[in-house]
Amino acid sequence: MPANETAPSAKKKGRRARLIVLVLVLALLVGFGYGTYWGLDTVRASFPQTSGTLKVPGLTGTVEVKRDSHGIPQLYADNEDDLFRAQGFVHAQDRFWEMDVRRHMTSGRLSEMFGAGQVETDAFLRTLGWRQVAQEEYDKKLSGETKKYLQAYADGVNAYLKGKSGKDLSVEHAALKLSDDYRPEAWTPVDSVAWLKAMAWDLRGNMQDEIDRALMANRLTPAQIEELYPPYPFDRNKPIVEGGKVDGGKYTPQGASAAGASAGSSSANSAAGSNGSGNTTGGGSGTSGSQASTASPTGLADNAGAQGASVGLRTSLTSLAKTLDQVPAILGPNGSGIGSNSWVVSGKYTTTGKPLLANDPHLSPQLPSVWYQMGLHCRTASAQCRFDVAGYTFSGMPGVVIGHNNDIAWGMTNLGADVTDLYLEQVKPEGYVYDNKVVPFTTRVEEIKVAGGASKKITIRGTNNGPLISDRSDELETVGTRAPVNGSAPDRGNGYGIALRWTALDPGKSMDAVFKLDRAKDFASFREAARDFEVPSQNLIYADTKGNIGYQAPGRIPLRGAGDGRMPAPGWESKYAWKGGRDGTTGYIPQDEMPYDYNPARGYIVTANQAVVENGTGAGKYPHVLTTDWGYGARSQRINDLIEAKIKDSGKISMDDMRAMQMDNSSEIAALLTPMLAKIEVADPDVRAAQKLLEGWNYTQEPDSAAAAYFNAVWRNILQLAFGDKMPKELRIEGSCMNVREETSGPADDLAKTVRECGTRDADSAQPDGGDRWFEVVRRLVKDEKSAWWQSPAVRNQPATTTRDQLFARAMRDARWELTAKLGKDQSTWSWGRLHQLTLKNQTIGKEGPGFLQSLLNRGPWNLGGGEATVNATGWNASGGYGVTWVPSMRMVVNLNDLDKSRWINLTGASGHAYHDNYTDQTDLWAKGDLLDWPFGKEAVEKATAETLTLKP
């Protein structure tokens, strides 16, 4: 195995230097210099008042905030303005540090809080222009009603901030105030809108795959790359929707009722122009299956053989990948693990006689959790007050994102649509080349203010394909002269840049959709709300109290010209541009042609990031390409199988059954490989003893399972030996070093030399990551026992491998000694949970400080079960180690027969204040798979209320 040699980057050193100041200040806060009493007083000063009475300027009437024993608030008001003003106030009470950091991130202003170490990140975020797009949405796209809600919410936040010093807001703010006299500014409506851009960034689709495929071309042939991106297995893993069709500009599900087929379709093509209505999408059209099985037709892959990738493009994409790793991921690492589970079962198959709906989004573990549980209730329903909704909210944004109202429930999973394309641009001093002409850049100058240092000005350049993101690195100013493009490419000598085309950079109306969802009464109004949920594109699942179930795929999905979005496209040719303009009204799949389902005959709907539809031109095929990079359906098919088995066994599914399914730990790849591993002859008695752990194992990854620990270590080593050591350094984990053969132009005897090569990729995005794409890769390759992928060179005392079983035997040996080092020689003490741990880290200053700071703000570890691509998706990156990198960030099961019997849980707790009782009071329950009661009706809420705070004008 290559040595794992790591060193902090210069950027991280700068950020840590800034954090040292905060560490010292926090030391003072807890009594290292000012006395224990003052320290405790500072910690407690930011705890919110949760009972009694408070005056809130701007309210027109009283608002009651009823909290249960876990601090989860239910708000009651007489009008909508008061309701959202109170929501802003309560969010700020519990989570203002989180809100403040995130708004600085979305506007590219982290340097104002954390100093010079964040300048590069700010520059990249300014280049993307999230804040500018959010402002344009607010000014030009959002309804007057939505603007009113946003302003009321901002007024509530500011009412809370008024007159408060740093320590009154949070311990973190106290530290910033003492070190740099930092004072939070007023909240604005655009701060809330910009949050949706951060959400879209983390759910942006296949951008990482696009980069990775291009970088792989440095070392792998096109055929090898295609083996690592196999087609979606439609024969084994069902898509979300089966058998629908597009006809006459409308999508109709298979067997849909007239009500379902017409629901929400009154404003045909309102979200898209006439471009491409019913048309196929460029190079991706007509393919059988979602993943393409041939090389990209863009021309950038024409010469991209084992030696074909250019130094310039490689440098450009490597630097871009590193920049992406450094952008704070609010929702999690963008890769094979990010997604979610949701499913809904018709009352025909439930013990309640009405639908049951489950949802658990898989996101990065955050402290506090990205979600905030809350109820928003009008005391009396009227034209002036139309909200009676509860669920999961985002601190910093009004409304409920996922949950239920009095009539419907809904959940979300990431659709994974391909909504980003990278364009290689031929750059000249005076502009960029487009159709043989030089077009001037659009430019703007931005000033980045830096805490404790001088401001920095940057110039942001844009092309017709989007911002020139390659400008944000010194390495990318000139990106080389041998890009793998076809002969029609312009002069290579002046270098190339990279532009980003992304749907989220076109102003949209997703904020309108949130409030429409909160008030939807039936499937028609639900689909109408979904029309506005443009970015990020999500799978929306539905159930109502009348017994209906449904699904809608919304989103702004581009119609491409040439190319299929799998590799960077040549920006100098107009035929590769997206169809239509950049005004957000043309060039996208019409919403009436987006897939949906309504009361399907099978009685249930499952969405878990699998293919939405099977695209193509035949019967039952979908004519548009939503993406070429779906998840591969390991989780979704397991859920399908669990539902079908339960129906076959008992005919009925209960609330407890839904909860148990959410905690299913079965491993698909273990079921495939374990029988093969068990047959391999092993001479080493210690390795043989480990091999025996797999005998009789049922492939479930419980936290106390020694077999799960050993299998996952074997799986990790198989991936490393078969694929990881063959990857270019740009995809291998940072600091992992190995000796490689490098071709030279010398005499025949010296055509190759050995060089030391170290990986450069962040641990969360290194490859192979072990996700369900790799399940599919290995599933196909194990049939060929002599595949070239099973060849691995001799290392130290281990011989070279040439066959599958030889490589598997070596992986079993490596895994045994790896676990001996990590868990001890005694196998009876091994457990998956000891390897697979979750540590919750307070965002920003809890992530990079020394142990003292972490002990103040962070919590854990928890030993978890589950794993990669299981229903209980506690993900880990096989290149980076076994630690948990994404989790079910919340879980809910909604009972449409009796909403007060619904259940929910959050990853952490309601409070963002360290040492508050509700900081992580739900985490132990979450780790065990338990759910809390979810009161909704007035009587149930009153019964659960532990504290009441009355807000008055």
What rounded mean pLDDT belongs to the chain? 85
Predicted pLDDT of residue 847: 62
Predicted pLDDT of residue 43: 72
pLDDT higher than threshold 80 for residue 451: yes
Confidence at 933, pLDDT banded by 50, 70, 90: very high
DSSP letters spanning 312-338: HHHHHHHHHHHHHHHS--SS---STT-
Cis-peptide, bond into residue 48, ω within 30° of zero? no
Do 725 and 792 form a contact (C-beta atoms < 8 A)?
Answer: yes
Q: What is the mean pLDDT of residues 46-54?
A: 96
Predicted pLDDT of residue 38: 41
Span of 210-214, 612-616, 631-635, 866-870 with lowest mean pLDDT = 210-214
Predicted pLDDT of residue 205: 66
Higher-confidence residue of 317 and 4: namely: 317
Tokens 């992580």: give the residue: 920
Tokens 């949760």: give the residue: 50
Highest mean pLDDT among 44-58, 207-221, 283-297, 847-861: 44-58
Higher-confidence residue of 836 and 321: namely: 836
821 CB-contact burial (10 Å; exposed 0-12 / middle 13-18 / buried 19+): exposed
Helix ranges, 520-632 (H): 523-531
Residues contacting 53, CB < 8 A, separation 6+ = 949, 950, 951, 952
Instruction: Using DSSP bridges, classify how beta strands 456-463 and 442-448 pair: parallel, antiparallel or unpaired.
Output: antiparallel
Confidence at 322, pLDDT banded by 50, 70, 90: low
675 CB-contact burial (10 Å; exposed 0-12 / middle 13-18 / buried 19+): exposed
Confidence at 487, pLDDT banded by 50, 70, 90: very low
Compute the distance between CA of residue 678 and CA of residue 251 in angstroms, rounded to an integer.
49
Query: What is the SS3 assignment for 842-858?
Result: ECCCCCCCCHHHHHHHC
37 CB-contact burial (10 Å; exposed 0-12 / middle 13-18 / buried 19+): exposed
Residue 651 phi, psi dihedral angles, 5° rounding: 80, -10
Confidence at 911, pLDDT banded by 50, 70, 90: very high
The secondary structure of residue 32, as a DSSP letter, is I
Query: What angle is formed at CA 590 by the lines to CA 586 and CA 593, rounded to 5 degrees?
Result: 165
Do 284 and 560 form a contact (C-beta atoms < 8 A)?
Answer: yes
Q: Using DSSP, state whether 339 is helix, strand or coil.
A: strand
Strand order in the sheet with 466-467: 442-448, 456-463, 466-467
Compute the distance between CA of residue 633 and CA of residue 639 in angstroms, rounded to an integer.
10
pLDDT higher than threshold 80 for residue 26: no
Q: What is the mean pLDDT of residues 816-832?
A: 97
Residues contacting 783, CB < 8 A, separation 6+ = none
Residue 117 phi, psi dihedral angles, 5° rounding: -65, -15
For 801, half-sphere exposure in the C-beta direction (CA atoms, 13 angstrom radius) is 22
Predicted pLDDT of residue 815: 98
Dihedral of CA atoms 360, 362, 364, 366 in degrees, nearest 10, equals 0
Predicted pLDDT of residue 470: 86
539 CB-contact burial (10 Å; exposed 0-12 / middle 13-18 / buried 19+): buried
Higher-confidence residue of 130 and 736: namely: 130
Instruction: Using DSSP bridges, classify how beta strands 52-55 and 947-952 pair: parallel, antiparallel or unpaired.
Output: parallel
Which pLDDT tens digit goes with each residue over 433-450? 999 999 999 999 999 999
Of 424, 114, 391, 440, whose CA–CA distance to 298 is shortest?
Answer: 424
Q: Encoding tokens for residue 129?
A: 């222009």
Angle (deg, nearest 10), helices 510-519 and 523-531: 170
pLDDT higher than threshold 90 for residue 327: no
Higher-confidence residue of 265 and 513: namely: 513
Which pLDDT tens digit goes with each residue over 848-882? 554 566 678 899 999 999 999 999 999 999 999 99
Confidence at 34, pLDDT banded by 50, 70, 90: very low
Highest mean pLDDT among 180-184, 381-385, 478-482: 381-385
Q: Encoding tokens for residue 851?
A: 């142990």
Predicted pLDDT of residue 27: 55
Q: What is the mean pLDDT of residues 730-737?
A: 89
pLDDT higher than threshold 80 for residue 389: yes
Highest mean pLDDT among 23-32, 127-136, 463-472, 855-864: 127-136
Predicted pLDDT of residue 7: 38
Strand partners, 932: 904
Predicted pLDDT of residue 133: 95
Strand partners, 63: 951
Highest mean pLDDT among 27-31, 425-429, 614-618, 830-834: 830-834
Strand partners, 875: 886
Compute the distance between CA of residue 696 and CA of residue 699 in angstroms, rounded to an integer.
9
Confidence at 452, pLDDT banded by 50, 70, 90: confident
Of 775, 781, 783, 422, whose CA–CA distance to 631 is shortest?
Answer: 775
pLDDT higher than threshold 70 for residue 96: yes
Span of 52-66, 305-319, 593-607, 855-869 with lowest mean pLDDT = 305-319
Q: What is the mean pLDDT of residues 588-606?
A: 96
Do 356 and 653 form a contact (C-beta atoms < 8 A)?
Answer: yes
Predicted pLDDT of residue 330: 52
Confidence at 586, pLDDT banded by 50, 70, 90: low
Share of the chain above pLDDT 90, in %: 66
Q: Using DSSP, state whether 647 is helix, strand or coil.
A: helix
Residue 58 parent element (H or E): none
Amino acid at 131: R
Instruction: Using DSSP bridges, classify how beta strands 496-502 and 538-544 pair: parallel, antiparallel or unpaired.
Output: unpaired
- pTM of the complete model beyond 0.85: yes
Do 313 and 479 form a contact (C-beta atoms < 8 A)?
Answer: yes
CA quadruple 712, 713, 715, 720: dihedral sign:
positive
